[in-house]
Amino acid sequence: MLNLRQLEVFVTIVEQRGITRAANHLHCTQPAVSAQLRQLRAFVGAPILVRDGARVAPTEAGRALYSYGKAVLQATETLQRDLREINSGELDHIVIGASRAYSGSVLPTLRSSFQRSHRALALSLIEGSSQELLERVEAGSVDTAVVRPEQVPQGLDAALEMQHLCHDRIVVVESPRHPFTHGRSLQLQDLVDVPFVRAPIEGQRIGTSLLAHLAGAGLRPYQIVMELDTWEGIKEAVRAGVGLAAAPESVVRRELRSGELHTVTVEGFEETRSIALIVSPHRRRVGASRAFQELVRFLTTRFPTALAA
């Protein structure tokens, strides 16, 4: 028979792409992880992992097991939270999700402000891509999330009560101490000769429009000289003169005001990204608490103001 621990171990192995990394992530020994893996292999009756160089990847049977395990673990997390709320009688635990751009720049301040007036509330903030957050909100393991609305499939926006929050402008920035432009505006063709820094996932999506402009003009893509995991790392690399970066204006606003970074004008490039708030349907089915209703209203009214601050 399957159990939750076996599913947790397998899901972690797939996501960490290795048994040793999974053991470290779960804070247990590698033999313990291997034992759970053997039991799963016996249950499935077919190989569930295959070596991919130094890492492991799921087989076709493993992918089916991973999808099942992910759904079960998310449903279990939702059930446990609902039961805690029922048993406590009044306490509530709310999970907010956002991409790295906003989980690290806007939402921490808003979370602290709301928490001060709701002392009994347990308020968690997690980060992920819009697609990841969409799946978790739909499953109920995240209660509300700040996402890109174009990531929400048509027809699902009503089920998730999607509310438009605001727009965030995409800007190209450089270091004033190590400038590539020396204060001049750039044409699109100038970008192909300038080095860029970006985030592996979110930065690719942000830079897509800029790349599309280059492709539309018959130009080759700009050169990526460094990829970093965090916006703070990207800003530090730009400050050091490694290259330019395309970023949401809200992420670099503090550095623009302090003079640590400068905006680069690119003729013919103007891009904004729409930001929306979605709410889990599970929250409505079990009955949204007063604190949760207040949080949604708070984020809807205060997020646009905080983004522009």
Q: How far apart are CA 203 and CA 132, in angstroms?
A: 16
Does 174 score more than 60 pLDDT? yes
In a domain, 237, yes or no: yes
In a domain, 52, yes or no: yes
Domain count, the chain: 3
Look at 15-19, 150-154, 250-254, 297-301 and tell me which has the smallest mean pLDDT. Answer: 150-154
Count of CB atoms situated within 10 Å of the CB of 64: 14
131, 146: one domain: yes
248, 206: one domain: yes
156, 279: one domain: yes
197, 256: one domain: yes
In a domain, 76, yes or no: no
Q: How far apart are CA 294 and CA 159, in angstroms?
A: 20
In a domain, 82, yes or no: no
163, 278: one domain: yes
Position 165 scores a pLDDT of 93
156, 101: one domain: yes
pLDDT in tens, 40-64: 999 999 999 998 877 889 999 999 9
Look at 77-81, 132-136, 246-250, 271-275 and tell me which has the smallest mean pLDDT. Answer: 77-81
Here the CATH number for the domain that contains residue 105 is 3.40.190.10
Q: 9 lies in which domain range?
A: 4-69
**Residue bearing tokens 């306490």:** 91
In a domain, 75, yes or no: no
18, 148: one domain: no
269, 304: one domain: no
Torsion of Cα atoms, 69 then 71 then 75 then 76, to 10°: 10
Here the CATH number for the domain that contains residue 20 is 1.10.10.10
pLDDT category at 130 given cuts 50, 70, 90 is confident
In a domain, 53, yes or no: yes
Position 203 scores a pLDDT of 55
126, 257: one domain: no
Look at 5-14, 152-161, 279-288 and tell me which has the smallest mean pLDDT. Answer: 279-288
Q: How far apart are CA 94 and CA 285, in angstroms?
A: 15
In a domain, 188, yes or no: yes
